Amino acid sequence: MNLMKTLFASAAIAVTAGAASASVIFATEVIDVNRGDIHEVVDGRDDVNNALGKADNVFYSMGVGGDITLGFGALATGDVSVWEVTFGEISEHVEIVDVYAIFEGTETKVGSVSNDVSQKGFALTFSGVFDALKLVDVSPLDGGTKDGFDLDAVSVQKVPVPASALLLLGGIAGLGALRRKAKKA
Ligand SMILES: [Ca+2]
Ligand SMILES: [Ca+2]
Ligand SMILES: [Ca+2]
């Protein structure tokens, strides 16, 4: 096996291993926010910081048609999990968000999350890499919502190191491992 083939083969192994050991991280910053016109101001539900960190039942009400863009302090990939809070009968307060992954300004739709499945977190599968997530409230006006999607928390998978560095490091480390293996055999 020549050097380049060895590098690519071991880099592929490193990427697979990196994905398997990806760690869950929660939103750390609000990059942008536009609260929807239809909303209430009660009990601190207008505090955007309630959407940061782990799910704690304290939430930010997005307002109908509102959006929020969140950062995670690292490059991220899926799964994307979203927690919502609804008090009372969920079927009487239908609330939905569309979720978009943003990488260097380009948006890709990840999927939609409704409040009937996300009270204990709902995971959307997504394999792309992104540096921010945008959630857009698309709650139906006739669904009984008063202030749109009530966002408690969002988690993603951290991409261990910048992909290019991972490829290079993985290739070098893998080469050493292959050499050691070859000596043993
Ligand atoms: Ca709710
Ligand atoms: Ca609400
Ligand atoms: Ca919260």
Q: Which residues of 112-140 are buried (b: 16+ CB within 10 A; e: fewer)?
A: ebbbeebeebbebebeeebbbbbbbbbbe
DSSP state for residue 40 in the 8-state scheme:
-
> For position 13, what pLDDT does the model report?
42
> For position 42, what pLDDT does the model report?
84
Task: State which residues have CB under 5 angstroms from ligand 1, the bound ion.
Answer: 86, 95, 150
Find where tokens 């509102």 sit: 66
> For position 156, what pLDDT does the model report?
98
- How do residues 67-103 score in pLDDT, each as one tens digit? 999 999 999 999 999 999 999 999 999 999 999 999 9
3: helix, strand or coil:
helix
95: helix, strand or coil:
coil
Instruction: Please say whether the beta carbons of 156 and 101 come within 8 A.
Output: no
d(CA 31, CA 45): 18
CATH topology of domain 22-161: Jelly Rolls (2.60.120)
Judged by its nearest atom, the ligand closest to the C-alpha of residue 57 is: 3
Report how far ligand 3's centroid is from the alpha carbon of 142 (Å).
26
Report how far ligand 2's centroid is from the alpha carbon of 1 (Å).
60
Listed residue (9, 50, 43, 11) closest to 27, CA to CA: 50
| Domain residue extents for the chain | 22-161
Report how far ligand 1's centroid is from the alpha carbon of 150 (Å).
5
What tens-digit pLDDT sequence spans the chain (185 residues)? 455 554 444 444 444 444 445 699 999 999 999 999 888 878 899 999 999 999 999 999 999 999 999 999 999 999 999 999 999 999 999 999 999 999 999 999 999 999 999 999 999 999 999 999 999 999 999 999 989 999 999 999 999 875 556 666 666 666 656 666 666 55
